[in-house]
Amino acid sequence: MRLLIRLSLLAISVFFFAPVLPEAPTGFDNKSNGLVDDATHTADQVKFDEIEEISEGLGPLYNAQSCRECHQNPTSGGSSQVTELRVGHRGPDRKFQNPEIPIARGTEVIKGRTLVNDRAICPNAAFPSTEIQERVPDSEEIRTFRVSLNVLGDGFVEAVRRSNFC
């Protein structure tokens, strides 16, 4: 019984004496949210907005040429107005199973993820007979479109006032 009382008192004291977190910043001003300095934020945003090329490692399968292409509403880092395709099927136990998507005319199989990429770099001039575009087989009967998540608020869920939920 004493242990229960001590644990209760400890929990109450942690709750009352814990540091107060700052309120989450609001607005879409393309400025740092305070977790990093403005110079770091600007450098990171340039990288996030950068258009990738094949020579820089884009591909072989991809959805867009920059992070910003899918995360740009209402500003760079926001949610998307573009959807991505997610697929799968029910296994023998009736539980969801990740798909198996053949590419390269069936010589390779993509496993372990639900995302079906929209684009592929092959065939191209260097590999004219290599075809790797993903196509959903009929066996993947579960199909849905998802919107890319907003990345602007990551790390600030803890800063939302409790009274907003009560």
Where does residue 71 rank: exposed (0-12), middle (13-18), buried (19+ CB within 10 A)?
buried
* Percent of the chain residues past pLDDT 90, beyond the cut: 30
Give dist(CA 103, CA 107) in Å, integer.
7
Task: Look at 145 and 74; give whichever has higher pLDDT.
Answer: 145
pTM above 0.85, yes or no: no
pLDDT digits (tens, 9 = 90+) for 118-129: 999 988 888 888
Question: Does residue 108 surpass a pLDDT of 80?
Answer: yes
DSSP letters along 91-146, please? -TTSSEE--EEEEGGGTEEEES--EE-SEE--S-SS-TT--------TT--EEEEE
Token pair belonging to 23: 């309120």
Question: Does residue 53 surpass a pLDDT of 60?
Answer: yes
Give dist(CA 144, CA 156) in Å, integer.
28
Tell me the average pLDDT across 17-22: 64
Tell me the average pLDDT across 120-148: 90
